Structures are given as structure tokens and as C-alpha cells.
Amino acid sequence: MSLERKDEHDHKGWMESRELTPVESVYLTVLIWLDRRLRVVDYLEILEDLYYKVNMQMPKSHTEQYNLDNKFWYWYPLYALGSFSTVAYVVAAISGALLGFYYAPAAAAADGSPTVAYDSVMLIMGQLNLGYFLRSVHRWAAQIMVAAVFLHMLRVYFTGAYKEPRELNWLIGIVLISLTLVFGYTGYLLPWSQLSFWAGQIGVEMSLSIPLIGEWVAQLMFGGFTLSQATLQRMYILHVFFLPFITTAIIAVHIGIVWMQGIAEPH
Amino acid sequence: MSDNDTDDVRTDGSGTGIVSPDDETPAWSERKERTQGLSRLTYEYFERARREDQDLRQQSDYVERDVLAFPAWPHEMMRNIALTSFFVGMILFVSATLPPEMPNPANSGVTPAIILPDWYLYWSFGLLKLGPLNPELSILGGSKLMADRTYGVLANVVVVGFVAIVPFLNKGSARRPVEQPFWAAVGMSGVIFSLTIAALSIKNLVPMDSHLLFDLTFLVPIVSATITYAVLKTMREGYMFDLNRRYYRLRPPK
Amino acid sequence: MTGDQSAGTEDGSERRDVVVPLRVYKAVTVFSTLFAVVSVVAGFILVDVATQRASAPASEIDVPVGIAGIACILAGTVVYAFSTRFRTEEMGKSKDDAT
Amino acid sequence: MADEFMKGFACLMVGGLGWMTIKGWYNTPSFEGAQLTGELTIEEPTTFDQIALFMGDAFFWFAVLGALTFWVVLPLISEFQTYLNERSA
């Protein structure tokens, strides 16, 4: 900005030319006074300018071109569900990384006595400053991410957005939704509480009942046919090492394809 | 809303209509030979959209970039950032006010009253309880072809598999549910089934006779699909009626 | 939109609209939002202090501070609500688009 | 129209979140069993508890009545008014 003062709008003259109630004129006078001194609006205008400079480089969006805004805007929340699940994923990743400083996947006994894993979660919940909030954010972000992913899939289904040329992205989406569920399941087992233990039992039985490869799958995923330390260790590594890498990569591909193809809007 | 009452032909809310006034225009019957109604309209709309996009790009004020539909940046992202910040606020609010519970340590000796995964796996858990539907083969002397739990795992595979092949079953350019009542009805039955099967998986918590619940699990989706189909079909007829009226008002039959 | 102020719509709901220059509109939006956010947060902090984070028995609540807190919250709300009557030229009311 | 939908939806969301929070605090005795609709978990409500319980009910009715107003009542009234206007015109 130059040092020269811009031509200011004659607020005083303008206000006198209007029929304003006393309250309104006081209100405006105060805000204009603040504006003259703090100039916050100037900085926001720079941002606005930047936005429009970028914006002008782009072709018109469909809604702009066909003036659909007033008809479609209340569906926007449904179109934001994809980004929303990504944001929830990021929130869960950050809080999960912080939780990782305190959690230890150790000594999975099943005799009703608290294990190291259980104790570390109790420590996070009870003693750590804001620890309960951290675990709470992680858990809620996960829950909400799953819900958002389900709703995102429904939106895509009902607006027919999976059709040509987006079949591939639909398939990738199904892989992602499954990964999200596995993410949730492995995380559910980590505190090694009663719920975790018995959910783990169901998992072992499910994998054992797969024809032909059942025993092999149980060995691979759960480290045996009964729940043990190996199970907890595997769930932990799946949850904090394998799944994050795989899921992040696939999310990147998923969003990249959306980026290239554009968002499919119903007409 | 108000568009329906105006006399000029506005098919999608923008300027030009699909009916051109000259004699080169194919007759109604010729139009009808290709497709009709909403799908026809959609086709026209897509064609024009593509053409205008093409024109815009060729004006070369724009950066050369192949956008097939709706640019993700910045139009979509700006909107999404605004909306998602509300959602993140919601996450922080609920996590500050409602922290998670912590049950007792794992104990293989005590079977808890409730053995459940998280809510989002209820549907999968419910599919494991479809034992009564497992076919019995008389050849095998009434014994079942596979164990009930194998059957349940298989049901999961079938459901996910069906969802996966949807894009290859449902083709065409129809987008809105009203354009494709059948597929919307299928989707609706799927949504309702995922809810009823989830209810089935927690049947000891649902205050209802378990046999009735089992039957309802399969009946309710079918009923809701029928209702959806009927409603959408009716809406579609309404649109068609409106389109026809406008068409004939413009070009009255001889 | 006739003139600078249109009082109410046809269905009789009185709602005052004041048309202001764009710059003033921006100032109003930015500063009223800022003021509202700050005073609502401050109000909650005051209420917290007055009631010792909602743990004090009823007799030990610091009444003046508590009332000041609630007044702060209300003031923020009122400022924000008041800002919605200002708009600039060519800014249609959303209701006009819909009908 | 869209405006009305969003307002009703906002009422539903705000009211629902508030209701869920209060019920989570006061009406969820344990993880096993009734969630949000269980028995009161406190014996002698203090002033703050009473305020919170009242707020819980207020949120609930705000959600229900707010959504009803914007989605049902107001559209009905405007429909009725246009009907009356058309008749008188």
C-alpha cells in the first residue's frame, strides 16, 4: 500500500443524508471509528483480492454458469461430506499421534487385572493434563469420520455421481470405507477392556470361519486362535503403522481423481 | 417454483430452451424416438454445458485445464472450508462435553451382557446372525451346506460386492433420484436394510419379539423401496406432465 | 428495492433494511462479528468466575459478576443481530431469490 | 424456501446437540443399558443441576418446535396467505 492516503468516503455527510435511527447512527459511528483506526478490513480486502485473482484464472463453475446457486445451496452440506471426512481423518491423526506418546500396547492378559495397555489409557484419562480431552477428540473424530464416510457414500449413490467416468473412484471409495471400518475396529481393541476383548473374540471367530484360508487369516491378523499379547501388538501396528500409510495414500489418490475429474453435480 | 408458471421455455433455470422455433427442428415424434422426458432434457443440458465450457476455454482468458465438471479448487474448497470448520467445532464441542467411557479390564472368565463392536459395525455383525436363512440341503440329510458363521461372512462379501458393481449395472446419464426411481428405490432399501440389520444385531436390546424383528428386518426395506418408487414415479409423471403442457402450449398439435 | 430503505415485505413482517456503502458494510460485518465473538467468550469466562466453574453452592455465587457475564453474552448477541440489517447495494435479500 | 429449511435444520442441530450433551451428563447411568434416556444419575440436584436439567428440556423442545415451525407452520401460513391473496385478487 502506498503512503498516500486514499480518498475517504465522506461518512459524516452520508450519514446525515440518511434517515437513521439514533441507535443505528451510534452503532455505525462506533464501528466506523474502529475501522478508521484498526484497518482490519484492509487486510481482509487483500485476502479477498488474492482469492479473486486466483478465482479468475479458473473456468466458471457449473453453478455460476447456469445460475443454479439459489436452487442448490442448501444441498452444499451434503457435497462437503467428502472434505469433512478428510478433515475428521486429519483431526484423528493429530490427536492419535499425541496419544501415541502415552499409550503402550503391552502385556495383554485376560484375567480381569488391569494390563499395561489398560493402565496407560487410564493414565491418559485420569492424570494427564487434558488427556481425557485428547482421547475424547480422537474417539469422536473417528466416530464422526465413519458417519461422514457413510453419508458421503449415500450422497454419491443418490446423485448418481459414481457413473462414467467415475466408476474407478467408486471402487476406491469402497476400499476406503472398508479401511475406515478396519481402522475403527483395530482402535476399538487397543484399550484392552472387556469390550475390546470380546470384540476381538468375534473377530477371531469371523476370520476362522472363512473357508479354506480361515486359519491362515486368523494367524496373520490376530497372531493366533486365542487373544494374546500378539493380538494387541498386531492391532497396534496395524492401527498406527500400516493403516495410516495405506489409507492416506488411497485418500490422496481418491481426492486427486476428484480434482482431475471435477465434482459431479446432479442436473 | 416460480419457473413453472412462467410462459417462456426454461428447462433448467438458464436462458435458452430446448425447443427451437424453425422448421429444421425435428418433430415431437422424432424427438421421442431417441429418448424422452427428463433423460432427454438431461442430455440436452449436458450437451449445451459441454459446448459452453468449450467456448469459454477457447476464449483463452482461462488457464488451459481440462475440467470435465465442477472445479474442485477454489469453488468447492472455499465452500467446504467454511462448512467443515463448523463441523470441526462440533467435534471439539462433543469431545469436551462427552468423553468416552472406560469399561473394566479384559477378562476371559466373565462374559459381559453385551458383546458388541462399535455401532458402525452393527450391520456387519447383524449379517452374521442370518443363520435361519442358511439353506439346508436334503441331499446332505438336512445338514447345512456350510456353517452358519461361514454363511454370515459370505453375506458380508455379497453385500460389499453388490455395492461395488453398482456403477457397472446402472449406466446412463441420469443423476437425480427422480430420473431413476428404480435405483433410488434400491438405494433406499439398502439404507433401511442397513438400519434394520443393525437393529437385528442388537436384538436382545430391542423391546420386540425376535422372530417378528427378524421378519421385519427384511419386510421394512421392501416396503420402503416400494414407497420410494411410487413417490418418485409420481413426481416424475408430474414433471413430464408439466413439460408436455409447456411443449404443447408452444407448438399446439394441428 | 425502492430507495435506500424498504420497510417490511408484502406479507407484513416488518424488517428494517439499511443500505450502506460497501466499505461501511465490510466494516460493520468485520467489527460486529469481532465484537460479538469477544464479548460472548468474555461473558462465559465471567460466568465461570462468578460460579467457580459451576461448582459454588447457590449462596456463594458472585451475583454482580454473574450478571455482568450474562449481560456480556447478551450484548454480543444483540450487536451481531443488529448488524444483519445493514446491506449494500445490489445485495438481495435471500428471501427475494427464493420466492 | 431454502432459507427456511436451513433455519429449521439449524434449530434441530443446536437443540439436538444441547439435548444430547445434557442427557449424556444426567441420564446415562452406564455404558451398558439405556443411553440418554436412562434414570437420573444424581440424587439431590444443586441449583446448577436444576438449571442444566431445565436447559435439557428447553433444548429438546427448541429442536422439535424450531424444526416444526420452519418446516411446517411457516410454509403453511405463507401458503394460506397466498391462497387468501389469490382469492381476494
Find the closest chain A residue to B80 by CA distance: A80
Is C54 near chain B, with CB under 8 Å?
A: no
Res B75: pLDDT: 63
Indicate yes or no: CB of C51 within 8 angstroms of CB of D81: no
Contact A110, B107 (CB under 8 A): yes
A156 or A9, greater pLDDT: A156
What is the reported pLDDT for B252? Answer: 73
Mean per-residue pLDDT of chain C? 79
State the pLDDT at residue D9: 86
Count of H-run helices and E-run strands, chain D: 3, 0
Are B92 and A141 within 8 A, CB to CB? Answer: no
SS3 D45: coil
Across all residues in chain A, what is the average pLDDT? 85
Tell me how far CA of residue B54 lies from CA of A66, A114, B68, B179, in angstroms.
Answer: 15, 66, 10, 26
Q: How far apart are CA A88 and CA C20, in angstroms?
A: 40
**How many domains does one find in chain C?**
1
Q: What is the pLDDT of residue A206?
A: 83
Task: Give the gap in angstroms from C-alpha B34 to the nearest C-alpha of chain D.
Answer: 36
Cell digits of residue A150: 457413510
Q: Would you call D6 and A74 a contact, using CB atoms and an 8 Å cutoff?
A: yes
| Residues of C with Cβ-Cβ distance to A11 under 8 angstroms | 24
pLDDT in tens, A187-241: 999 998 888 888 898 888 888 888 788 889 999 989 888 888 899 999 999 999 9
Of A70, A71, A74, the CB nearest to D5: A74
Position A66 in a domain: no
Tell me, yes or no, whether A69 lies in a domain: no
Burial class (CB in 10 A: 0-12, 13-18, 19+), B253: exposed
Helix boundaries (H) for chain A = 11-17, 22-38, 40-56, 62-65, 69-72, 76-79, 81-100, 116-126, 131-158, 167-189, 194-208, 214-222, 229-237, 243-261
A88 and A186 in a single domain? The answer is yes
Distance CA A239, CA A230 (A): 14
Q: Is the peptide bond before B74 cis (omega within 30 degrees of 0)?
A: yes
Touching B (3+ Cβ pairs <8 A), the chains are A, C, D
Q: How far is A213 from chain D (nearest CA, A)?
A: 35
* pLDDT for the residue C4: 41
Closest CA to A92 of A52, A147, A54, A50: A147
Q: Which of B117, D33, B110 is nearest to A189 (CA)?
A: B117
Give average pLDDT by consecutive 10-residue segment, chain B, 254 residues. 44 49 58 59 68 64 50 67 85 90 81 79 84 61 65 86 92 82 93 92 79 89 95 88 79 71
Task: Find the CB nearest B97 among D1, D21, D30.
Answer: D21
Domain that holds residue A189: 74-261
* A5: in domain: no
pLDDT at A155: 92
Predicted-complex ipTM score: 0.76
Per-residue pLDDT band for C84 (boundaries 50, 70, 90) equals confident
Q: Which residues of D touch A (CB under 8 A)?
A: 2, 5-6
Q: Are residues A150 and A221 in the same domain?
A: yes
Output the CA torsion sign for B26, B32, B38, B42: negative
Own/partner long-range contacts of A173-177 (Cβ < 8 Å, ≥24 apart): A173/A254, A174/B160, A174/B163, A174/B164, A175/A250, A176/A149, A176/A247, A176/A250, A176/A251, A176/A254, A177/A149, A177/A150, A177/A153
Report the alpha-carbon distance of residue B234 to residue B205 in Å, rounded.
Answer: 38
Cα(B42)–Cα(B58) distance, rounded to whole angstroms? Answer: 24
Q: Is residue C41 part of a domain?
A: yes
For chain A, the domain total comes to 2
The C-alpha of A123 sits at a distance from chain C's nearest C-alpha, in angstroms, of: 24
DSSP lists the bridge partners of residue A263 as B70
pLDDT digits (tens, 9 = 90+) for A157-170: 998 889 888 899 99
Question: Which tops the pLDDT comparison, B177 or A152?
Answer: A152
Residue C97 has pLDDT above 70, yes or no: no
Do the chains contact at B13 and A67, CB–CB below 8 Å? yes
Chain D positions touching C54 (Cβ under 8 A) are 48
The pLDDT-based confidence of C7 (bands split at 50, 70, 90) is very low
Q: Which residue of C has its CA nearest to B2?
A: C99
* C-alpha dist (Å) from residue B157 to A147, A162, A238, B162: 21, 20, 22, 8
Give the Cα separation of A216 and A208 in Å (integer).
8
Pull the grid cell for residue D23. 442427557
Which residue of chain C is at minimal alpha-carbon distance from D48? C54
Confidence of residue A72 (pLDDT cuts 50, 70, 90): low
pLDDT at D48: 83
Distances (CA, A) of A135 to A92, A233, B101, B120, D23: 10, 20, 10, 19, 21
State whether residue D20 sits within 8 Å of chain B by CB. Answer: yes
Closest residue to A61, CB basis, from B65, B70, B100: B70
Chain C residues whose beta carbon lies within 8 Å of the beta carbon of residue B2: 99
A80 belongs to a structural domain: yes
Alpha-carbon span C44 to C52, nearest angstrom: 12
Range of the domain at D79: 2-88
Asked whether residue C14 is domain-assigned, the answer is: no
Q: Note whether residue A246 is domain-resident.
A: yes
- Angle between helix axes C22-50 and A22-38 (nearest 10 degrees) is 90
Residues A46 and A97 in one domain: no
Q: Which of D21, D25, D32 sits opposite B113 (nearest CB)?
A: D32
Using CB atoms, list chains with 3+ pairs below 8 Å to chain A: B, C, D
Which chain C positions have a beta carbon within 8 Å of D48's beta carbon?
51, 54-55
What is the SS3 assignment for D23? helix
Tell me the CA distances in angstroms from B35 to B30, B41, B158, B174, B237, one per residue in order: 9, 9, 34, 12, 15
* Closest in B1, B93, B114 to D32, CB measured: B114
Asked if B103 has any chain D CB less than 8 Å from its own CB, the reply is: yes
* Residue-wise pLDDT tens digits, A87-132: 999 999 999 999 999 999 887 677 778 888 999 999 999 899 999 9
| Cβ neighbours of B101 in D, within 8 Å | 30-31
pLDDT in tens, D11-60: 999 999 999 999 988 888 776 667 777 777 787 888 888 889 999 999 99
Is the minimum CB–CB distance between B207 and chain D shorter than 8 Å?
Answer: no
Number of domains in chain D: 1
Q: Which residue has the cell 458421503?
A: A152
Which of A80-94, A139-153, C18-32, C80-94 bottoms out in mean pLDDT, i.e. has the lowest? C80-94
List the domain range (segments joined by +) for residue C76. Answer: 19-85
Residue B126 has what pLDDT?
A: 85
| Element at C72 (helix H, strand E) | helix C63-83
